[in-house]
Amino acid sequence: MPLAAGVVLILLGAYTSPRCQASVAVGASAATMAMSLLLLRETLKGGIIVHKMAGWSAPVGIILVVDGFNAFIASIIVGVVLAAAVFSIGYMRGETSLSYYYALVMLMLGGMMGVVLTGDLFNLFVFLEVMSISAYGLVAFRSYEMEPLEAGFKYLVMGGTATTIVLLGVALIYGAVGTVNLADIACRLRDGGFLPGVSGSLVLSVSLALLVTGFGLKAAIFPFHTWLPDAHPAAPSSISAILSGVVIKVGIYALFRILFIIPLNVDFAFAVAVFSVLTMTVGNVMAMFQTDIKRLLAFSSIANIGYILLALSVGFGGGAYGVYGLTSGLLHVLNHAIMKALLFLTAGAIVHAAGTRNLEELVGVGHKMKATAVILVIGVLAIAGVPPFNGFISEFSILLAALGAGMGPFAALMLANILLAFSYYLRLLYILVWQAPKESLSMIRDPSPSMILPMGVLASLCIVFGVWPQPVLALSHHAALSLLNLNGYIAASLG
């Protein structure tokens, strides 16, 4: 049981020396990886692990609660951060103040783990802040250029608004039910246990609206997506991989948790579905016009958040298809984290070698970087939803779930979106790999092994999860079930 705390602890230990170097960062994330895999194995046996901070039980103290859902997301996060940390060794060589860089990466990892593992709403907010602040810093890390500074500032303003809104929402919930423990909130709301004098539904709607807005901002859902296409390309590529792969997923995680804990008599499924379709359409359409390779990938992240949201809205429908929808959504969380991290790392390798992000200047770069090109092809085909790779499975099953749950129009729109996305991914491949290389690119080579290694591992994961999806399907099915198992969650955390 103290494992849960151990996960967080290892991180905290790692950053405290300001001279923290790459090996420490990689070692810490590897150790955390091992920890979270252990946790995942424990939860797969059906248990929910609870760690009580300072030994106080639920409503009085803070507890960490780890069920299948938590552990699943946590493992994804650590995996991506580990890959990015290994990649950074080669990629960030030559930058100054690397100790700050690794310290911030570790703090961001710590923040994300804190958000995901905690069973307490206010604690979630606190670690959301740790995560966000380090993310702002990492986006603006290359401050000798203007663009990262501007993007980082934009991210700071938007993210700061988001955390403030979340705090207001948390305060309102505390005012209404007198507790900030997630399980306790769920329990109180189920039994209608408001504080005397508080008439329930309006408080709940307002605070829920605030929370959803805040987390939606973090997850870059449609009306709040504007910071993402600036922030993600401006960051160093290893950071873009973390940001796009998992930081926005933390927002999604919080949304999933909150929406399943606070019951409300509104047709959530429809509203979420509308926003999901808007999000994916905006992302895909904007991505078509980009000439900047990383910006294109960033817009594609927005689109993929849309797919995941659609799966969430199917999940609200309940029933067998609800579980199926959630399963496919969580599978897509995993797959998108792998694919997008892979793509950003690959893009980072290309940009690092060629010194430009402009697609027109990168024409035919694949001919010069053979290994990177192979990996890039795998990644792009996977995210475009081509059958033998993992992206196909999750996108297809989201479609099937939406169809089965009677959300035909939304499914049709998502199919259209996938086809749209397919077109610009093909364009990307055509430009980068197919066309004859430009002469200005004649000098570049494949990157160093420490950069190839994480890319290769992620790419092989794409293939493995594509041809042999049963284990991950089972995992995400388990995660979806434990997300729906609210009673078990309450019993474990309060008991």
Partner 1 sequence: MSLIVKTVSRMLTPVMLLVAAYIILHGHITHGGGFQGGVLVACAFILLIIAFGIDYVEAKVSFSFGQAFRSLGATIIIIAALVGMVFGFWFFKNVGVYPYGFPGEVFSAGSLIIYNLGEMANVSASFLVAFYFLIRFRRRRK
Partner 2 sequence: MEALGWFNLLFNVLLILLVVLAVIVVELKDLLYAVIVAGVYGVIIGLLYFMLQAPDIALTQIVVGVGIQTAILVVAVSKTLRVEEKASGKDLGLKAASIAAVVILTVILVFTVVYDFPAFGQPVERVGQYYVENVLKDVGAWNAVGAIVWDYRGYDTLGETLVLFTAVIVVLAVFKHAPGKRDEPNS
Rounded distance, CA 389 to CA 335, Å? 10
Task: Copy the structure tokens of residue 253.
Answer: 């995680």
Q: How far is the CB of 8 from partner 1 (least distance, A)?
A: 8
Q: Which stretch binds partner 2 (CB under 8 A): 22-30, 191-199, 415-423, 441-449?
A: 191-199
Judged by CB under 8 A, does residue 127 bind partner 2?
Answer: yes
Judged by CB under 8 A, does residue 206 bind partner 2?
Answer: yes
Judged by CB under 8 A, does residue 7 bind partner 1?
Answer: no
3-state helix, strand, coil in the chain (%, to 5): 80, 5, 20
Q: Which stretch binds partner 2 (CB under 8 A): 174-182, 246-254, 267-275, 342-350?
A: 174-182
Judged by CB under 8 A, does residue 159 bind partner 2?
Answer: no
Judged by CB under 8 A, does residue 495 bind partner 1?
Answer: no
What is the per-residue binding string for partner 2 in 211-240, x denoting contact by CB under 8 A?
------------------------------
Decide which of partner 1, partner 2, none touches 268; Cβ closer than 5 to 8 Å per partner kind.
none
Pair type for strands 49-52 and 63-66: antiparallel
Specify whether the CB–CB gap between 115 and 250 falls below 8 A.
Answer: yes
Q: Which stretch binds partner 2 (CB under 8 A): 27-35, 49-57, 407-415, 453-461?
A: 49-57
Judged by CB under 8 A, does residue 12 bind partner 1?
Answer: yes
Closest CA to 441 of 366, 384, 341: 366
Closest CB to partner 2 among 136 and 268?
Answer: 136
Judged by CB under 8 A, does residue 126 bind partner 2?
Answer: yes
Rounded distance, CA 49 to CA 493, Å? 9
Task: Copy the structure tokens of residue 213.
Answer: 């807005």
Q: Which stretch binds partner 1 (CB under 8 A): 16-24, 200-208, 233-241, 302-310?
A: 16-24
Interacting positions 450-469 with partner 1 (CB under 8 A): none
Decide which of partner 1, partner 2, none touches 152; Cβ closer than 5 to 8 Å per partner kind.
partner 2
Closest CB to partner 1 among 53 and 403?
Answer: 53
What is the per-residue binding string for partner 1 in 53-72, x denoting contact by CB under 8 A?
xxx-----------------
Taking CB under 8 A as the criterion, the residue among 7, 22, 33, 52 binding partner 1 is 52
Decide which of partner 1, partner 2, none touches 17; Cβ closer than 5 to 8 Å per partner kind.
partner 1
b/e burial code for range 75-97 (CB count within 10 A of at least 16 → b): bbbbbbbbbbbbbbbbbbeeeee
Over the Cα atoms of the chain, what is R_g?
21
Judged by CB under 8 A, does residue 51 bind partner 1?
Answer: yes
Rounded distance, CA 414 to CA 402, Å? 10
Q: How far is the CB of 54 from partner 1 (least distance, A)?
A: 4
Please list the residues that pair with 63 across neighbouring strands: 52
Rounded distance, CA 457 to CA 133, Å? 29
Please list the residues that pair with 181 across neighbouring strands: 120
Closest CB to partner 1 among 136 and 260?
Answer: 136
Question: How far from each other are the two terminal CA atoms of the chain, in whole angstroms?
Answer: 15
Find the angle CA(178)-CA(179)-CA(182) to the nearest 5 degrees: 145
Taking CB under 8 A as the criterion, the residue among 114, 317, 348, 404 binding partner 2 is 114
Find the angle CA(486)-CA(487)-CA(493) to the nearest 5 degrees: 90
Looking at residue 221, its amino acid is I
229 phi/psi in degrees, rounded to 5: -65, -15
Binding site for partner 1 (CB under 8 A): 2, 5, 9, 12-13, 16-18, 51-55
